[in-house]
């Protein structure tokens, strides 16, 4: 030991040797350790505070629940007039009316009883009983539900009223009502048009012996004479029936018969065309057609026409639409307008709906069938 070391040791100024681990750690690492230790301490402190707050909140909730339970039990004792341990619907009604200072209907009290009567025995026991505030909240909820239901019912009634108004408006513009006696009689007259044009096929039946004394033949002859005295009577009758048949204010039965009379008259054109073509072909072949065959075929056409007209007349006089004639009645049905073809705007104006393209119409029909 040198003199300097001995001197320093004697005076106590020599520090103990520093460990190698401390000498190897830099000041930055030591600072990081200190910060981490401080953060851990702060986290532990916050956790302790959170646990304390949760404990305090739980205690407050328990106190609140106990207070509510005590209040509910107190009110329960007040409501339970006969002190039998349960509150009946009458006791509930009387108690709530006094507490809420309002009159309650038996229906509303029954709804409250149903809402809180967990056992379903028609009375409230202490464990089912709640405070007045909860009864009040439930009453307000029931009132809101009733108002909502009433509002929906009002909207539905308004919608039904609009539908009824639309149906009435449609009926005003399109006369689809039951035909009156006058309508029934008037609906028969259009069939005079095909009858007059079809008399040419009845020349053999109407022109036989004794026809002059037949009142039916005489009447037909007079009508036919008047019909032919009018220039272009056939064209005038056709256009008149076609025009009037499109008038929606005329009763549907009358309009239907007008359209059907036109189709019956048009159908009379085809037998004449066919007989003309047959006669032309036989003439070129130098073949003479048997007159009896001509008479029979002509009579058959006229009898068929009379049968169709008789059916249409009888049905119309009974107020029944004569829609059973093959092909012709189907074509007439397709031409007749229906109430679904009209709509009403927000101002109450009636207008015809635009026609849908055939493809979209078929698609809509398929969708309706699927539903």
Calpha distance 74→82 (Å, rounded): 15
Average pLDDT over residues 106-131: 85
What pLDDT, on the 0 to 100 scale, is given for residue 356?
A: 57
In sequence order, which residues have a C-beta less than 8 Å from that of residue 1 and are 6 or more positions away? 9
User: Is residue 223 pLDDT above 90, yes or no?
Assistant: no
- The answer to whether position 281 is within a domain reads yes
Sequence-distant (6+) residues with CB within 8 A of 71 are 131
Radius of gyration of the chain (CA): 51
Whole-model pTM over 0.75:
no
How long, in residues, is the chain?
371
Report residue 258's pLDDT band, with 50, 70 and 90 as the boundaries.
Answer: very high
User: Is residue 106 domain-resident?
Assistant: no
> Distance (Å, rounded) from C-alpha 189 to C-alpha 261?
9
Tokens 């009110």 found at: 75
Does residue 345 sit within a domain?
no
Which percentage of the chain shows pLDDT scores above 70?
A: 80
Q: Is 190 exposed, middle or buried (0-12, 13-18, 19+ CB in 10 A)?
A: buried
Do 133 and 124 meet the contact criterion of CB atoms below 8 Å apart? no
Q: How far apart are CA 342 and CA 170, in angstroms?
A: 7
Q: Pick from 131, 13, 9: which is nearest to 67 by CA?
A: 131
Q: What is the pLDDT of residue 262?
A: 95
**pLDDT bucket at 319, cuts 50 / 70 / 90:** very high
Is residue 322 within 8 Å of residue 257, measured between CB atoms? yes
Measured in degrees and rounded to the nearest 5, phi and psi for residue 86 equal -150, 155
Q: What is the mean pLDDT of residues 154-180?
A: 79
Q: Which of 142, 241, 132 is nearest to 197 (CA)?
A: 241
Q: What is the mean pLDDT of residues 112-127?
A: 86
Is 205 in a helix, a strand, or coil? helix
SS3 per residue for 138-163 = HHHHHHHHHHHHHHHHHHHHHHHHHH
pLDDT score recorded for residue 354: 64
Tell me the mean pLDDT in the region 110-125.
87
Element housing 351 (H / E): strand 350-352
Domain that holds residue 209: 182-337
6 pLDDT tier (thresholds 50, 70, 90): very low
Specify the pLDDT at position 360. Answer: 54
Mean pLDDT is highest, among 25-34, 114-123, 281-290, for 114-123
What confidence score (pLDDT) does residue 116 get? Answer: 87
Paired residues of 343 in beta bridges: 351
72 pLDDT above the threshold of 60: yes
In a domain, 104, yes or no: no
How many Å apart are CA 75 and CA 313, to the nearest integer?
A: 84
**pLDDT of amino acid 131:** 76
C-alpha span between 191 and 260 (Å, rounded): 8
CB-based contact 313:188 (threshold 8 Å): yes
Local confidence band at 289 (pLDDT 50, 70, 90 cut-offs): low
Cα separation, 133 vs 126, in Å, equals: 16
pLDDT given for residue 281 in this prediction: 80
Number of domains in the chain: 1
**248 found inside a domain:** yes
CA distance 257 to 190: 7
| Residue range 237-259: mean pLDDT, rounded | 92
Amino acid 240: pLDDT: 94
Residue-level pLDDT at 65: 67
| DSSP-derived 3-state class of residue 119 | coil
183-219 pLDDT tens trace? 999 999 999 999 999 998 888 888 777 667 788 888 8
Is 135 inside a domain boundary?
no
For range 162-179, the mean pLDDT: 75
Integer angstrom CA distances of residue 168 from 160, 177, 344, 362: 12, 11, 11, 28
* C-beta of residue 128 within 8 angstroms of C-beta of residue 118: yes
């Amino acid at each position: 030991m040198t003199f300097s070391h001995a001197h320093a040791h004697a005076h106590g100024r020599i520090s103990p040797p520093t460990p190698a681990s401390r000498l190897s750690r830099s000041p930055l690492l030591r600072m990081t350790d200190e910060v981490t230790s401080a953060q851990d301490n702060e986290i532990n402190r916050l956790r302790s505070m959170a646990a304390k707050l949760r404990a305090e909140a739980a205690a407050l909730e328990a106190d609140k629940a106990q207070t509510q339970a005590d209040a509910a039990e107190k009110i329960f004792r007040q409501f339970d007039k006969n002190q039998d341990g349960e509150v009946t619907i009458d006791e509930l009604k009387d108690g709530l009316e006094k507490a809420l200072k309002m009159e309650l209907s038996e229906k509303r009290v029954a709804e409250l009883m149903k809402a809180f009567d967990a056992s379903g025995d028609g009375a409230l026991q202490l464990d089912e009983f709640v405070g007045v505030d909860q009864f009040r909240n439930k009453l307000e909820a029931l009132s809101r539900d009733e108002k909502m239901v009433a509002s929906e019912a009002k909207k539905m009634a308004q919608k039904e009223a609009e539908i009824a108004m639309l149906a009435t408006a449609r009926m005003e513009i399109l006369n689809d009502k039951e035909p009156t006696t006058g309508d029934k009689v008037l609906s028969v007259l259009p069939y005079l048009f095909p009858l007059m044009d079809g008399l040419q096929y009845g020349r053999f039946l109407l022109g036989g012996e004794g026809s002059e004394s037949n009142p039916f033949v005489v009447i037909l002859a007079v009508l036919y004479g008047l019909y032919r005295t009018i220039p272009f009577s056939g064209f005038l009758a056709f256009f008149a029936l076609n025009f009037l048949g499109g008038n929606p204010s005329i009763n549907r039965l009358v309009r239907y018969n007008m359209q059907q009379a036109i189709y019956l008259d048009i159908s009379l054109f085809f037998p004449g065309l066919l007989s003309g073509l047959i006669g032309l072909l036989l003439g070129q072949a130098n073949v003479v057609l048997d007159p009896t065959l001509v008479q029979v075929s002509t009579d058959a056409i006229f009898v068929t026409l009379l049968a169709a007209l008789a059916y249409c007349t009888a049905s119309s006089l009974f107020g029944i639409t004569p829609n059973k004639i093959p092909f012709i009645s189907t074509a007439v049905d397709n031409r007749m307008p229906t109430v679904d073809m009209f709509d009403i705007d927000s101002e109450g104006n009636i207008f015809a709906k635009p026609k849908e393209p055939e493809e979209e119409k078929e698609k809509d029909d398929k969708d309706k069938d699927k539903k």
